[in-house]
Structure 1
Amino acid sequence: MTTYGHHASHEQIAPSQLLRDLQAAERAGFAMGMCSDHFAPWSHRQGHSGFTWSWLGAALATTGLRLGCVSAPGQRYHPAVLAQAMATLAEMFPGRFWTALGTGQAMNEHITGDRWPVKAERLDRLEECVAVIRALHRGEEVTHAGLVRVDRAQLFDLPPAPVPLLAAAISPATAARAAAWADGLITINQPAEKLRAVIDAYRDGGGKGPLALQVHLSWAPTEAEAQAIAHDQWRSNVFDEPVSLDLPTPEHFDVASRDVTPETVAGAVRVSADPARHVAWLREYADLGFDEIYLHHVGQDQGRWLETAATDVLPHLTEA
């Protein structure tokens, strides 16, 4: 049976309000949550970017939800530091925290001043980081010299059980490669045939664990408002690789998205004023085999959406 969660977007909402929104999502009936991990927003119109790891401690302490985030080790985060952050949350909140790991985007990683590697090198670096994190979570002392370097690192407060490390993948090629190391897979909404290809690549490669999906949606009382919200907030997020991965600043995304139309945004965001339409779309995703679906209303005001989700969306999904 598919479980439904709330996505908290650090790029769009200040951390204090984002925490209140997550608490409201729990009251609305969402069973779990996840969040992004950005240093910068995708656009100056979004205008926020709180520090995920501080926020997660507060979120886990003030809700009963199981929570996770998507993060990128290797450049902005040294894998030993990231392993310590994960282990601390897992020690305080056993069984309630997971992380999905990916190769990241230049917009977040360029801040170190280091070279932004090509995708093949970033995949190699990610796999080294996964091995380092897993060894540290087992209590081992780690020294490693490769694309990342680690000198005699050891954690002294360990998670009671290994933190689930999911793979963040959008393409079948990335999903197939991640099957060798991941405890599950998370991706984003795409046309059904593309999602099937990602799932098949992961499972055919031996990938195990849950399949999770983040769904971008826009709801408002009128169709025009729902379209306006999606176009204002998410038109910087419609680009394929390598543009989505290699542009370095919000200014670059704002320039690149100046001519993006509402029709183009509708290819990346499920837009409708009709809650029943959203229910139908979400059921289609569940039918593809996703175990967990995280709903991301792309508006900055989450209040009306959460009220609608509580009365007109979640009850119909759980009945199904």
Structure 2
Amino acid sequence: MTLYGFHASHEQVHPSALLDAVRQAEQAGFDAAMSSDHFSPWSERQGQSAFAWTWLGAAMQATTLPFGVVNAPGQRYHPAIIAQAIGTLGAMFPGRFWAALGTGEASNEHITGAGWPRKDVRAARLRECVDVIRALLRGEEVSHDGLVTVDRARVWTRPDEPPPLIGAAVSVATARWCAEWADGLITVNAPLEHLRAMIDAYREAGGQGRLYLQVHVSWAPEEEQAEAIAHEQWRSNVFPPPACWDIDSAATFDVVSESVSIEQVRGSVQVSSDLGLHAARLAGFAELGFDEIAIHHVGQEQTAFVDAFGAKVLPQLRSAA
């Protein structure tokens, strides 16, 4: 049966409020949680961007939920540091943590002052980081000279079983490539045909493990309010690759999104005041075979969303399943 999780969006919500929200989500019946990991929001209107790894320790202690995080090692984060972070959470909370690894976005990575590499270079760098992280989580001492450099690193605190490393992808080609190294696949909501093609490409290339999906939703009791929330908070997030990868600041995202319409936002966000429609759309994603769906309400206020989806949407989904 598909698990339905709560997505913690650090770019939009203060970490203390997110901690309250994830506690509430567990009480409301959500099965799991997932965390973003950004240095910068996509819009100055979003206005936050807390350090995910600090928050994860607090949130996992405060709940019994399984957690995942989406991370981009190789520039802002050295892979040995990510291996240490994964190892620590895995040791403290056995069997409850996974990490998805992707190639990153300039808005977060430019802070190092290094140049922003081409996509093919970023992919090659990620592949090196994956090998380094896996070796460190096996307890090996690692030295590596390539697109990343590692000198005699060893992670001393590790779980008995390394947490899964999930491949992050938004294209069919990247999903197929993730099958070479990942323990599972994660992507974001898209047309069903595209998602089906991604899953097929991953499985046909030998990809194993669980399938994860992040779904952006905007809900409010009135349709106009749901639209206003989505347009105010998420219109900077509608740009497809490579724009979303290469724009390097919240200020620039705000400028280029000034004329984005609510119709364009609806292409990225499931917007509706109808909880039955939200349940039906989520059920359609589940039917594709996703093992876990993380629901991200794009509004900054999470309480009403958690209560409504816990009371009305999750029971419909479980009854249908």
TM-score of the superposed pair, with normalisation by structure 1:
0.99
Distance in 2 (CA, whole Å) between partners of 1:229 and 1:120 is 36
Q: Distance in 2 between matches of 1:212 and 1:112?
A: 30
CA distance in 1, matches of 2:227, 2:312: 20
Aligned to 2:216: 216
Cα offsets for 1:231-266 (capped at 9, x unmatched)? 000001100111000000001100110000000000
User: What secondary structure sits across from 1:211 in the alignment?
Assistant: strand
Aligned to 2:310: 310
The one-letter code sitting in structure 2 at the alignment partner of 1:68 is G
What pairs with 1:6-25 in structure 2 (closer than 5 Å)?
6-25=6-25
* One-letter code aligned to 1:127: R
- Write the distance in 2 (CA, Å) between the matches of 1:215 and 1:43: 19
Unpaired runs of 5+ residues, structure 2, are: none
Aligned to 2:40: 40
Residue 151 of structure 1: how far off its partner (Å): 0.3
2:67 matched residue in structure 1? 67
What corresponds to 2:168 in structure 1? Answer: 168
Q: What is the distance in 2 between the residues matched to 1:228 and 1:267?
A: 15
Identity of aligned residues (%): 60
Q: In 2, Cα distance between the equivalents of 1:148 and 1:298?
A: 35
**What is the RMSD computed on CA atoms of the aligned residues?**
0.5
Deviations 1:87-135 (A, max 9, x none): 0111011011100000000000000000110000000000000000000
1:62-211 equivalences under 5 Å are 62-211=62-211
Residues of 2 paired with 1:229 and 1:198: CA distance? 30
Amino acid across the alignment from 1:56: L
d(CA) in 2 for partners of 1:241 and 1:155?
35
* Superposition map of 1:292-307 within 5 A: 292-307=292-307
* CA shift for structure 1 position 291: 0.9
Aligned match of 2:56: 56
Instruction: State the 1:277 CA deviation.
Output: 0.3
- Structure 1 residue 285: Cα displacement: 0.3
Cα deviation, 1:247-298, whole Å, max 9, x if unaligned, reads: 0000110011000000000010000001000000001001111111010010
Amino acid at match of 2:94: P
Bigger mean CA offset, 263-272 vs 191-200: 191-200
Aligned residue type for 2:73: P
Q: What SS does the aligned partner of 2:277 have?
A: helix
In 1, Cα distance between equivalents of 2:155 and 2:228: 48
Structure 1 residues without counterparts, runs of 5 or longer = none
**Partner Cα distance (1:185, 1:153) in 2:** 28
User: 2 CA distance for matches of 1:30 and 1:311?
Assistant: 10
Which residue pairs with 1:5 in the alignment?
A: 5
Q: Which residue of 2 aligns with 1:259?
A: 259
- The runs of at least 4 consecutive aligned structure 1 residues that moved more than 3 Å come to none
Number of positions where the alignment pairs a residue of Structure 1 with one of Structure 2: 320
